[in-house]
Amino acid sequence: MIVVIQRVSEASVKIEGKVKSEIGKGLMILLGIEESDAEEDIVWLSNKIASLRIFPDEKEVMNKSLRDVDGEILLISQFTLHASTKKGNRPSYIKAAKPDIAIPLYDKMISALQSELGKPIGTGEFGADMKVSLVNDGPVTILIDSKNRV
């Protein structure tokens, strides 16, 4: 799994012109799922996300986690994170998981993050044409690949 994490002061996702989810201070996360991903990736990644110390403390040092600041999450599925651009100019998405694999893993990631935070999170809709808006706070943007844990 690949995630792009952006620390935000606000974020929202619209589907067909209607707001599906919106959050205040927290993390907007784009999640890319590939065929080889499994529940162990979800467990590791959800804990890593909730524990990342990327929010400022009293001295404006990034020393607090999402849990520490009672932040929110907006999680958006994003198969294009697995784009291969090695050959030609048209990206290949061959590594991206098909819906029969990706949807159950996306749902499990939602549950895992809700469990980590002890509250509901905002989501998009798998496979929908979504319009995502955010105010990146910092800016702080972090890329994590669950296959590169060591």
What pLDDT, on the 0 to 100 scale, is given for residue 9?
98
Query: What is the domain partition of the chain in residue ranges?
Result: 2-145
What pLDDT, on the 0 to 100 scale, is given for residue 149?
82
Q: pLDDT tens, 67-80?
A: 999 999 999 999 99
d(CA 147, CA 54): 21
d(CA 105, CA 43): 11
CB 141 within 8 A of CB 62: no
Find the mean pLDDT for residues 99-122.
Answer: 97
Structure tokens that stand for 42 in this block: 């979800």
Structure tokens that stand for 96 in this block: 């991206």
d(CA 133, CA 68): 24
Q: pLDDT tens, 6-49?
A: 999 999 999 999 999 999 999 999 999 999 999 999 999 999 99
Structure tokens that stand for 28 in this block: 């907007």
Asked about 123 being catalytic, the answer comes back as no
What pLDDT, on the 0 to 100 scale, is given for residue 18?
98
d(CA 32, CA 83): 10
Read off the pTM: 0.94
Non-local (6+) Cβ contacts of 120 within 8 A are: 114
- Alpha helix (H) residue ranges in the chain: 39-51, 99-117
Domain 2-145 coded CATH 3.50.80.10: yes
